[in-house]
A and B are shown apart, each in its own frame.
Chain A
Amino acid sequence: MAKLVIRNGRVIDPASGLDKIADVFIKDGRIAAVGERLEAPGAERFDASGRIVAPGFIDMHVHLREPGFEHAETIETGSRAAAAGGFTSVCCMPNTQPVNDSATVTNYIVERARLTAAVNVFPIGAITKNSAGEALAAIGAMKEAGAVAISDDGQPVMNARVMRRAMEFAKAFDLPVINHCEDLHLSAGGDMHEGFESVRLGLRGIPSVSEDVMVARDLLLAQITGARYHVAHISTRRAVQMVAAAKAQGLPVTCEATPHHFSLCDSDVIPYDSAYKMKPPLRAAKDVAELIEGIASGVIDCIATDHAPHPGSEKMQEFERCPFGIIGLETAVGLAIEKLVHTGRISITRMIEMFTVNPARILRLDRGTLAVGAPGDVTVLDLKCEWTYDVNRSYSKSKNTPFDGHTFRGGPIATIVNGVVVWRRDQG
Chain B
Amino acid sequence: MTKGLLGIEGLERSEIEQILERAKDFQPLQHQPFKRLDTLRGKMVVNLFFEASTRTRTSFEIAAKRLGADAISITASGSSVSKGESLVDTLTTLAAMRPDAIIMRHSASGAPHFLARHLPTPIINAGDGTHEHPTQALLDARTILDHRQTLEGLRVAIIGDIAHSRVARSNIYLLSKFGVDLVLCGPPSLLPRELGEIAPHVSLTYDIREAIRDADVIMMLRVQLERQHEAAFPATEYFQFYGLRLEHLGLARPNAIVMHPGPINRGREIASEVADSQSSVILNQVENGVAVRMAVLERILQD
List residues of A whose CB falls within 8 A of some B CB: 188-189, 194-196, 198-204, 271-273, 313, 316-321
Query: Given A319-B108, A319-B114, are A202 and B198 also a contact pair (CB < 8 Å)?
Result: no
In the bound complex, do residue B86 and residue A199 qualify as a contact, i.e. CB atoms below 8 Å apart?
Answer: no
Quick one: CB contact mask for B214-238 with A, threshold 8 Å, 1 for yes?
0000000000000001100000000
Tally B residues with Cβ within 8 Å of A: 27
- Closest-CB distance, A308 to chain B (whole angstroms): 20
Would A273 and B114 be within 8 Å (CB), given that A189-B229, A202-B109, A319-B109 are in contact? yes
Contact between chains at B86 and A202 (CB < 8 Å): no
Cross-chain pairs A/B with CB under 8 angstroms, 24 sampled: A195-B194, A196-B194, A199-B195, A200-B169, A200-B194, A201-B109, A202-B109, A202-B129, A202-B130, A202-B131, A202-B169, A203-B129, A203-B130, A204-B130, A271-B110, A271-B113, A272-B110, A316-B88, A318-B87, A318-B108, A319-B108, A319-B110, A319-B111, A320-B129
**Contact residues in B for A199 (Cβ distance below 8 Å):** 163, 192, 194-195, 198
Closest to A272 in B: B110
Asked whether any CB of chain A lies closer than 8 Å to the CB of B293, the reply is: no
A320 touches B194 (CB 8 A): no
In chain A, what residue has the closest Cβ to B117? A273
Interface centre among A195, A272, A316, A321 (most CB of B within 10 A): A272
Alpha-carbon distance A319/B128, docked complex (angstroms): 12
The 8 Å CB contact of B229, one of A188, A194, A202, is A188
Q: Binding site of A, secondary structure by majority: helix, strand, loop or mixed?
A: loop
Q: Which residue of B lies closest to A202 (CB)?
A: B131
CB <8 Å contact, A202 and B194: no
Q: Bound state CA distance, A66 and B187, in angstroms?
A: 47
List the A side residues contacting B111 at CB < 8 Å. 272, 318-319
- 141-193 of chain B: CB within 8 A of chain A: 163, 166, 169, 192
A273 to B110, CA, bound (A): 9
Chain B residue contacts of A196, Cβ below 8 A: 194, 197-198
Q: Which residues of B contact A203 (CB under 8 A)?
A: 109-110, 129-131
Q: What sequence of 0s and 1s flags, for each residue 63-92 of chain B, a beta carbon within 8 Å of any chain A beta carbon?
A: 000000000000000000000001110000
A115, chain B: closest CB distance, angstroms: 35
Residues of chain A with a CB closer than 8 A to B194's CB = 195-196, 198-200
Kindly report which residue of chain A lies nearest to residue B87, judged by CB atoms: A318
Smallest distance from the beta carbon of A71 to chain B beta carbons, Å? 16
